[in-house]
Chain A
Amino acid sequence: MTKGWLRTIAVGAGLTLVAGACGGRDADDEAATDDGGDTATTAGGEGGGEGGGELEPVAGFDGTTIRLGALTPTSGRVAVIGNPLTAGNQAYFDYVNEELGGIAGQYPIELVVRDTAYAEPTAVQEYNATKDDVVMYAQILGTPIVNALVGQLTTDGVVAAPASLDSFWVREQSLLPVGGPYQIQAINALDYWVTDGGGEGDVICSLIQDDPYGEAGQEGLDFAAEELDIELGPAVTFPTGNPDFTTQISQLEGAGCEMVLLVSTPADTGAALGKAAEVGFAPQWIGQSPSWIGLLALSPLAPYLEENFLLASEGPDYGDESVPGMAELIRIQETYSEQPPDTYFNFGYLQAVAVTQVLEAAVANGDLSHEGIIEAMNGIEVFEYDGLSGDYEWGPPEDRNPPRTSTIFRVNPAAPTGLEAVEVDIESDAALAFEFEE
């Protein structure tokens, strides 16, 4: 008896499955989608021009609206990064929809934002809940989150733009990174300091966060030191949220450090440099882009920062309208967003620019399916950002080459983001020599 109904259930299960099959769940179905995709490709190629005729509806595209995903923390501590970044995504897509009529002038974009709360299990579930409902992901925020998802993205053949400057993403076929990785920032920082910065012969040290982000900065510093034939001083580590930096600062001070690469996040920047200021330790600090937040320029530490702190980041001065990309960014930000000036907004904006370029190519090919997106993306030769970030040479994973440029900023409380550029788009030989491995 037991066996009998077991079989009934199993058969019943099968039937329901076939009836409800969707989005490549079933072998036949998948083949059908593929065929459709191929035909559309040819049609699109021949038709050319505006939109290339009617596009096949695929996962995340109902024939008119293109749905994009964003897996980002909108709650918890990292929402401080997630919120402005998503606002950057959204503002650019709003601009595409309003002023350009959507992708290829006819397909508007919808951004589906899901809150990961910066927790891996939530992110994995949200990914699985949305992957068949979006064409690609315009944003997945955070190194640990991308790490948790990259395997599945590759298996599923879905493309995502990671919001994190790690170097591991460069050669992943399913990722669309933006900007120069942390290593590049660190290399250019050191190169700048010992050449134009006037720090030749200084004792160079580092104060790094005890995690992969910290290690990435240190890797860049080590590489640059070898290229430039410099012997480095100590690298001192600290845990995030460190309650007191006395021992770290005294280790740096004891070693006679004259320039310190700081790989941290804003709260730790404030605590570490606060301690340094208190004990009167004043080397040249050079921070990596995530170590900054505009409010630091309005904190009691501001005078010390103006004197002793530089930041290695990317792009021109915020508001420098002589750079065409910046003028456009500011116009779009003011028109479509209530977000005040924020470097993470810019990052989200750049992601949206790159994603839009991929979508345009995919529509021109006539295939918005997940495979079509990969094909379209691999066909792009270079991502250009109108001066907001260096050119990112593209193509299949092995040909990809991130920008090697960095900008050195100094603190200026009067500037919108608290920063003003000292030297824009430096591209050191050491940075050019750095190789991104598999």
Chain B
Amino acid sequence: MASTTVPSRQHGSSAPSRRRRQAGRPHRNLALDHARDLRILRSPLAKAGAVLLALVYLAAPANLTDVTLFALAYAGVYAIGAIGLNLLIGFTGQVSLGHATFFGVGAYSAAYFGVQRELPLLAYLAIATGLGLLLGLVIGPFALRLRGQYLAVVTIGLVFLGGHIFSNWESVTGGGSGAPVAGADLSVGPLDFGELELGGQIYTREQSLFWLVWALVALTALVAKNITRTRPGRAMQAVRDRDLSAEVIGVQLARYKVGAFAVAGAMAALAGALYGILQGFVNADEFGGSVGLFLSITFVAMIIVGGVGTVFGSILGAVLVEYGDTFIRENNDLALLDPIIIASAGDSGVVSSGEFNGIVFGLLIVGFLLVEPRGLAALWLRLKAYFTSWPFSY
């Protein structure tokens, strides 16, 4: 589905550097056997990168403002959903615009099981994930009958149906008035993510939630990476590139298409539950109707901007789209933005900050598709290739 230029082989064998440092000894990045080829961190550099990311994760809450941390927590939530969608669209080639419904199921699970049933954090997160998985199993079979753009439009139907159920199933969803998530349990063992206390130091809600969300982003990314680098991942990519051919070589289409919907649904629902926690309150019109459709579209935009068919790219895309939006809203008085954005009544400018964000969002999609269809992840790979092969240009 997505063009074949998508980097389906990002493993070591394609690492651009083929130089030898010493005669007789292969370069450290050269994979000599299949197992090495499949490792997640294939080079010392990658290992260093992972350690660096872990350091950033631990240090960020102490060094960033609560506003930034909160925005990054939202970005993390969307990243989890985007990783799932990337498995479905980028790896399996099944276009879904129904992601908002799965997201909504997760959010309402947090509201119902977290607040009404007073279950602990891990329990309602698990239930949310499980319900998303189940819904994916129900919707998946449609992909066996419908293809491409027909499937895309049918999944829009899911958004409208979901929205209708959310706003009418009052005992569970609170109907049109919505349901609170604030008050749901936020602790794992001794750690209370509503207000972490570590070594006598109390951390704010934003700091704690940043840690919670991004730990789950890492977990989700790891699961996704493990799916994509092993047999199911190769089968999914075969389905994406040409499902008939895949079937001919023995890939069970039904299993992988439905499976991809289930996994994507589970991840979206997990993201939705976390979204509910961040919001503190959920309302049907956030996930249904045209707002829901635009939410689904936002997820797709994230993987396009980040890179279709890469796990890391999904995270980059989510951070850019979500944090970029916050950045513009928070900084509409910057010298560059001030003449454009009308910040308050009577301010000079051409568009309001919401409109400006919408335009930037659209231009980001258009720009990436035209200039770098493989997204931020490809930019990153190119940058990496430049440095690993330096001083040679290739």
Contact = CB atoms under 8 A, between A and B. Distances in A.
The short answer to whether A and B are in direct contact, CB under 8 Å, is yes
Interface of A: 5-6, 9-18, 25-27, 73-76, 79, 83, 86-87, 90, 111-117, 119-122, 124-126, 128-129, 144, 147-152, 155, 210-212, 215, 337-338
Counting contact residues on chain B (CB < 8 A from A), the size range is 35 or more
A13 B62 contact: yes
B278 interface: yes
B352 A124 contact: no
A75 B206 contact: no
B354 A73 contact: yes
A315 B283 CA distance: 32
B330 interface: yes
B192 to A, nearest CB: 15
Nearest to A144: B283
B291 A74 contact: no
B352 A75 contact: yes
Contacts of A14: 62, 198-201
A124 B58 contact: no
A126 B70 CA distance: 10
Contacts of B55: 5, 9
Contacts of B343: 113
B199 A11 contact: yes
A296 to B, nearest CB: 24
A30 to B, nearest CB: 11
B113 interface: no
Contacts, number: 127
Contact of B63 (A16, A115, A116): A16
B178 to A, nearest CB: 5
B62 A17 contact: yes
Contacts of A12: 59, 62
A125 B278 CA distance: 9
Given A75-B353, A121-B279, 20 more contacts: A13-B62, A14-B199, A14-B201, A75-B351, A75-B358, A90-B344, A90-B346, A113-B345, A114-B329, A115-B352, A120-B279, A121-B286, A125-B70, A128-B70, A128-B206, A129-B330, A147-B177, A147-B178, A151-B280, A152-B182
Contacts of B358: 75
B386 interface: no
Given A120-B279, A211-B176, A215-B176, A144 B285 contact: yes
Contacts of A25: 204
A348 B370 CA distance: 45
Nearest to B179: A147
Contacts of B355: 75
A74 B342 contact: yes
B61 A120 contact: no
Contacts of B283: 120, 144, 147-148
B354 A75 contact: yes
Contacts of B275: 121
A115 B353 contact: yes
Interface string B60-83: 011100110011001000000000
Contacts of B177: 147, 212
Nearest to B351: A75
B204 A117 contact: no
Given A13-B61, A120-B281, A128 B67 contact: yes
A13 B201 contact: yes
A164 to B, nearest CB: 12
A212 B201 contact: no
B368 interface: no
B181 to A, nearest CB: 9
Contacts of A111: 344
Contacts of A124: 278-280
B327 to A, nearest CB: 11
B136 interface: no
Nearest to A214: B176
Contact of B280 (A26, A73, A152, A337): A152
Contacts of B278: 124
A9 B344 contact: no
24 contacts: A10-B199, A14-B201, A15-B62, A17-B203, A26-B202, A27-B202, A75-B353, A76-B354, A79-B352, A87-B345, A90-B346, A120-B286, A125-B326, A129-B67, A129-B329, A129-B330, A144-B283, A144-B285, A148-B280, A151-B180, A151-B183, A210-B176, A211-B167, A212-B176
Nearest to B198: A10
Interface string B331-346: 0000000000011111
B287 to A, nearest CB: 10
B256 to A, nearest CB: 33
Interface string B38-50: 0000000000000
Contacts of B354: 73-76, 115-117, 122
Nearest to B183: A151
A295 B215 CA distance: 53
Contacts of A155: 182
